[in-house]
Structure formats: structure tokens, C-alpha cells
Amino acid sequence: NTRAIATGNGPPRYRVLMSDGVNTLSSFMLATQLNPLVEEERLSAHCICQVNRFIVNSLKDGRRVVILMDLDVLKTADMVGGTVGNPVPYNEGQGQQRSSAPAANTAPNKLQQQNGSLSAAGSAAPKYHPPSNQFSKASAPSSLKTPGGTQSKVVPIASLNPYQSKWTICARVTQKGQIRTWSNSRGEGKLFSIELVDESGEIRATAFNDQADKFFPLIELNKVYYFTKGNLKTANKQYTAVKNDYEITFTNETSVVPCDDAQHLPSVQFDFVSISDLENTPKDSIVDVIGICKSYEDVTKIVVKASNREVSKRNVHLMDTSGKLVTATLWGNEAEKFDGSRQPVIAIKGARVSDFGGRSLSVLSSSTVVVNPDSPEAFKLRGWFDSEGQLLECASISDVRGGSASGVNTNWKTLYEAKSERLGQGDKADYFSCVGTIVHLRKENCMYQACPSQDCNKKVIDQQNGLYRCEKCDREFPNFKYRMMLLVTIADSLDYQWVTCFQESAEFILGQSATFLGELKEKNEQAFEEVFQNANFNTYEFKIRVKLETYNDESRIKATALDVKPVNYREYSKRLITSIRRNAQLG
């Protein structure tokens, strides 16, 4: 019989009456992850099931409850048709050793109490040794002895609730945050949080102030400990993605003891998203990624305006087999101690996706960064990168502004691709680089008179009395400086594009300073024209920003040249060769 037990909050818990043909026992609780079995009516009265994993819990009043962690329904109720055998309720305290009769596959489990270890029917042996439940004083190979010789009962994380104060769990630390301090009107303090995992589930734990100081150096990521006694309270889902209704707060009674026998506990679980898929991931989502650190930048210090604190940050660039590159930002301690030499494999759990420059990742205090993890994905990546990956020219999904000189992260596009991919038509500007040839320059209105103050480029108004007024500086000047705003048409083999070039780019293209050009225009028209003719039909690498702009109800794509450089033919050739080979493979 199954009976639903209503719990205060959270999913319902089912209590099950089990029988092995000889005895019945009603103290079985179904772990919540098995709830669907009841809800879908696969587990119903009279069905025969095989219990694969379970844990025995001792209640305060001495009664024992068996929590069923994993079971398979072997024969559904309608196939069985009725009670099997003539079971009588099992009396606790009765006989210790029962002879084990290897049951046939279809027979229900035989409950055997033998120092707390039970065997299951057929070939399925429990993969989990239940914590020793010492109900008999006979010496038992106890799987756990806490220092001081006290015997504690290890309970599954899933069973933790605020109504039980004395508990011990055996769990692995899958995430350890940094110590964070706060200061508000009610005082100050510090805390750090960890995430714990065992086979039954996960839970978050936080240590404050003194406990933070005490446990922070002791607790290490990925290690397993016995945690005893702490406060359970309802979880604040805002701060965490951990699936548990409750979370633990360490108290001064909490103890943390390393556990040696922990192979059975799951280690840090990752659910990797491929970097190219990140482009479709909504911003602010939390993801796990793994990639080779193709390059990384130096650590820089920035001041957080909100708290006026200095914080270290470092950008690292990760690449995976999709050929795409993403920039991940590390903060604080992690940024400082990061070592990206030898292009390690980096796995990040719980990074936040942002739409900075397209798509990039930010490592949060709740994220975990593992360098060269011991996992099959890491080995695959390493193998791929060492053979082909490092030759691959990758496209970055997070733009790197004025960053690497080697252009490893530049977003190369042909003008045709830029248009067909509708770059700039989103709500944010897009950036790309291309190789193009100037085919036309507009020399009319290529310059304007600008405010002579440093850093102010606003157009000045000619007062006609020898003075020029700048509205932004709210001043009048007897002079001005010429500033370039040159419209050029660039073309490549497939398409063309109008691009606006400001001062630096224009001066580079024309090969003359704005001031000189201003003079030339006034004094020597022919020489002025010659400058433009010479500038025509030169090929350069352009770094372009495109954005949709609306002016008087009309929306147009505007392209601006951020940087113009001579073509690096070697890199260009390599890109072309790679592109040709890639296209040839696609057939």
C-alpha cells in the first residue's frame, strides 16, 4: 500500500507498506526522486519491486525508517493480481540473523538484518553500503567512526529537514566559494558557502563569522567530509541553483571530519554546453563549459564604483571543438592565481552568460573553475587541440576590443558575410574585421571645424567675428581644429560597404594629418585632390563597427571604421587557406 504523507512544503513524501511474502513492514519512505513512480501509478499496491538502494534512518524515538533510494518495478500490480503469500507484520527487535535465501528474480526483496547491511534479490547488490545502524551491540564492521568513538548515523542529504537537529551527512564538496565580507547598518560579518553532494541529492551550506574562519581553511573542494549538526532552514532560492528546499547553516556545534571511504560519492557534476551553443543561450543563464584556454590576458585591477573597492579581473579565452572562442572573466583570487601557460583545459561550472560583446562568460563566486580536470571531456579536448585544434582559426563569440595584437580573437568576415549575417541589426552594435580595398573617397565635407579643447570634438559654430563657439564646453575660442569624418567605400571580392572613418583612420588612409589637409584644401586644391587619388585603391585591414541607427524615422545600418591597418598578408593567407580547405571538405 502506498500512502501519501503530506509535508509542510515541498513535494509529497510517500510512505510504503512493503512485504516480502513473509513479513510486512510499513516503515518505508520513498525518496522524493522516486515520487513519479507513484504519481504515474507504476508503483502501486501489490506490485513487485526490487530495491536497489536504500538507507536506514533512525528516528528520535528509536524507530527505524527505511528510505528507498532506488527501486525497479519488476511486475506491475495488475500483473501480480493480489497479495503474494501471507505476510504478517514484522516485529522490530526480532531475530538478528536471518538465513539468506537467494530469491528468484520476481520475488520481492528479503529483508535481512545483519549489522545493518542488506542484500537484494537476484543479481542486484546494493551499490551503497548503508551506514551502520547499530541496533545490536555486536561489533559490526562499522563504516564510520567519528573521533571520540561516538557512533553517528549518516543520513542522506535528501532526508535533512529542520525538524531533526542531530544528523550527520557524508558528502563531497562540489563547490566552495570565497570568503565574502559585508558591512551594513546592522553590523559587519563574513561568510563563505559550499555545495555538498551525496547520492541522494545536494544541499548548500553557509558558515558565518567564526565558523567561516574555522572551516574555510579546512574544507577543500572535491573532498569528502562528515558534516554533523547544523541548522536547517528553508533555502533562499535567489542565491543558489542548488536543488534542495533547505540549506544548512553551520553553528558552533557543527563538526567537519574528513572521510576516507568515499569512492561511492558522485564527484563534481558538469553538464557542458558547447561554446557555439552559447550564442543561443539567453543571457544571465548559468552554464557549465569546458574548453582549451587558447590565450589569456594579464590580470588587471579595476575599481568597483558601487563599493569603491579594487577588484582583480582577468579575461581568458576558451575554445572548444566547435571552433568557437568565448571570453570568460575571472575575478579576485581566481584571476590572480590563474596560470594559463601550456594552454590548459579549463572547466567552469556555473558561469553566467552575459551578452557583453555578443556572448561572454562571467565566473561568479558560486562558480567552480577546474584547471585540467580529470574527466573524459578534458582528455578529448586535449587530444583534439594538440592535433588539429591549435591550427584552427577560431571565431570569437565575444568581441575583444582592441585586445590581442596577434588577432587570434578577431572576428573576420567578408563584407558579403557581414551583410548576409545581418550584423548590426540587433539592438546592439556588432564588430567585425575584414580585408577591403578603398574604391572611393568622398572629399566633400570630409572635415569639420571642431572645438580646440583637448578631448572635445564637438563641432564649433562660426560666430563670424573671428570667434568660434563650442556648445559643449560653453566657451568661445579664437581658433578651431580640423577633424576628419571621411566617408569611404570599401570593397572586397563579393561586396562593398560605405564606412565612416574618423580622425585616426582617415589620417592613416590619406597619409596626412587633418591640420595639413585643412591647409591644403584652402591653399592648394590640386594637391588636396591628389592626396585623395593616391589614397584610392589601397587595401587594408578594417576593424568595423556596425549598428542600426534611426534618424528622423529612417533606420539605416551605419558602419564606422575603428581601426585601419596594413594587411598582414601572412595571416590573411593562412586564413584563406584554412577557409579553402574547410570549404573543400564540406564538398
Partner 1 sequence: MGDVHEAPRPRIAAAQLAQYIGRPVCFVGRVEKIHPTGKLVVLSDGGGCNATVELSEPLDEEISGVLEVVGRVTNQATIMCMSYVQFREDKSPFDLELYNEALKIIHEFPEYFPFG
> Least CB distance from residue 534 to partner 1, whole Å?
20
The mark string for 559-578 relative to partner 1 (x by CB under 8 A, - otherwise) is: -----------x--xx--x-
Closer to partner 1 by Cβ: residue 422 or 581 = 581
Q: Under the criterion CB under 8 A, does residue 186 sit at the interface with partner 1? A: no
In the range 339-398, which residues lie near partner 1 by CB under 8 A?
A: none
**Residue closer to partner 1 (CB basis): 182 or 569:** 569
Q: How far is the CB of 410 from partner 1 (least distance, A)?
A: 19
CB of residue 435 to partner 1, shortest distance in Å: 16
Using rule CB under 8 A, residue 45 touches partner 1: no
Q: How far is the CB of 580 from partner 1 (least distance, A)?
A: 6
CA–chain centroid gap for 137, Å, is 49
Shortest distance in whole angstroms from residue 581 CB to partner 1: 8
Which CB sits closer to partner 1, 472 or 581?
581
Provide φ and ψ at 62, rounded to 5°: 95, -15
What is the radius of gyration, based on Cα positions, of the chain?
34
Which x/- pattern, by CB under 8 A, does the window 451-490 give for partner 1?
A: ----------------------------------------
Q: 416 or 498, CB closer to partner 1?
A: 416
566, β-bridge pairs:
540
Residue 482 to residue 457: CA distance in whole angstroms: 9
Q: One symbol per residue from 519 to 558: x for binding partner 1 (CB under 8 A), - otherwise; what is it?
A: ----------------------------------------
CB closer to partner 1 out of 312 and 568? 568
Minimum gap (Å) between residue 571 Cβ and partner 1: 10
Asked if 580 touches partner 1 (CB under 8 A), the answer is yes
Is 167 within 8 Å of 253 (Cβ atoms)?
A: no
CA distance 405 to 434: 15
Q: How far is CA 366 from the centre of its chain?
A: 10
Whole-number Å distance between alpha carbons of 137 and 147: 19
For residue 565, the minimal CB distance to partner 1 (Å) is 14
Rounded Cα gap, residues 82 and 498, in angstroms: 82
The rounded distance, in Å, linking the Cα atoms of 313 and 338 is 10
Residue among 494 and 527 whose Cβ is closer to partner 1: 494
Nearer to partner 1, 322 or 538 (CB): 538
Q: Are 251 and 211 in contact (CB under 8 A)?
A: yes
CA-nearest of 230, 115, 253 to 171 is 230
Stretches 193-201, 517-525, 557-565, 579-587: which one binds partner 1 (CB under 8 A)?
579-587
- DSSP secondary structure string, 391-423? G--PEESB--TT--TT-TT--B--HHHHHHTTT
SS3 of residue 368 by DSSP? strand
480-514 burial code (b ≥16 CB/10 A, e <16): bbbbbbbbbbbbbeebbbebbbbbebbbbbbebeb
HEC string of 291-315 equals: EEEEEECCCEEEEECCCCEEEEEEE
Instruction: Give, rounded to a whole angstrom, the gap between the first and last alpha carbons of the chain.
Output: 63
Instruction: Tell me the CA distances in angstroms from 285 to 350, 353, 359, 573, one per residue in order.
Output: 9, 5, 11, 38
Q: Can you read off the three cell numbers belonging to residue 171?
A: 558528502
Task: Check binding of 586 to partner 1 (CB under 8 A).
Answer: no
Residues 215-234, mask of contacts with partner 1 (x by CB under 8 A): --------------------
Q: Is 166 in the site for partner 1 (CB under 8 A)?
A: no
How far, rounded to the nearest angstrom, does the alpha carbon of residue 124 sit from its chain's CA centroid?
37
- Here the cell at position 517 is 589637409
Q: How far is the CB of 367 from partner 1 (least distance, A)?
A: 41
Residue 347 DSSP SS3: strand
Name the residue nearer to partner 1 (CB basis): 556 or 574.
574
- Residue selected from 584, 585, 586, 587 as contacting partner 1 according to rule CB under 8 A: 584
Indicate whether 309 belongs to the interface with partner 1 (CB under 8 A): no
State in angstroms the smallest separation of the CB of 437 from partner 1: 20
406 binds partner 1 (CB under 8 A): no
Q: Which is nearer to partner 1, 138 or 577 (CB)?
A: 577
Nearer to partner 1, 101 or 580 (CB): 580
Size of the residue set binding partner 1 (CB under 8 A): 7
Residue 532: closest CA among 443, 410, 400: 443
C-alpha cell at position 12: 509529497
Q: Please, which residue, 150 or 583, has the CB nearer to partner 1?
A: 583
Task: State the residues that interact with partner 1 by CB under 8 A.
Answer: 570, 573-574, 577, 580-581, 584
